[in-house]
Amino acid sequence: RKEVEQDPGPFNVPEGATVAFNCTYSNSASQSFFWYRQDCRKEPKLLMSVYSSGNEDGRFTAQLNRASQYISLLIRDSKLSDSATYLCVPLGSGNTGKLIFGQGTTLQVKP
């Protein structure tokens, strides 16, 4: 099983829609999780950190389900500017510095 698995998509949604992505991870000892956003040919940028049951920042909500070993990212009221690839990253216990990224989920928001 891969360390991190994401549905690559693409998810095509209209402006204003609510969309959710899931990410499953194999290391049950992972304590923290990150969602990154990556625009085409650009560097990834941190969107949100998750280290309890979840986190919310404006239109973005991340939820963690440790029992099922997945985290989700919910985007409400989608904007055209939300079009990007969203990367899930679990941080293993002890923070060894070895950060393994998922392949990412691509979101296309259409007018």
Partner 1 sequence: NAGVTQTPKFQVLKTGQSMTLQCAQDMNHEYMSWYRQDPGMGLRLIHYSVGAGITDQGEVPNGYNVSRSTTEDFPLRLLSAAPSQTSVYFCASSYGRRKDGYTFGSGTRLTVV
**3-state helix vs strand vs coil in the chain, percent to 5:** 5, 50, 45
Tokens 């690559």 belong to: 8
Q: Is 97 in the site for partner 1 (CB under 8 A)?
A: yes
Examine residue 31 and tell whether it contacts partner 1 (CB under 8 A). yes
CB 17, min distance to partner 1, A: 25
Task: Classify strands 105-110 and 11-14 as parallel, antiparallel or unpaired.
Answer: parallel
Of residues 68, 107, 71, 72, the one with CA closest to residue 86: 107
Of the residues 45, 59, 76, 110, which one makes contact with partner 1 according to CB under 8 A: 45
Binding of residue 44 to partner 1 (CB under 8 A): yes
Contact 6, 103 (CB under 8 A): yes
Closest contact distance (angstroms) between CB of 97 and partner 1 is 4
Query: Per CB under 8 A, does 26 bind partner 1?
Result: no
Q: Could you say whether residue 91 binds partner 1 (CB under 8 A)?
A: yes
State the Cα–Cα distance between residues 69 and 53, nearest whole angstrom: 12
Cβ proximity to partner 1: between 41 and 81 the closer is 41
- 103 contributes a contact to partner 1 by CB under 8 A: yes
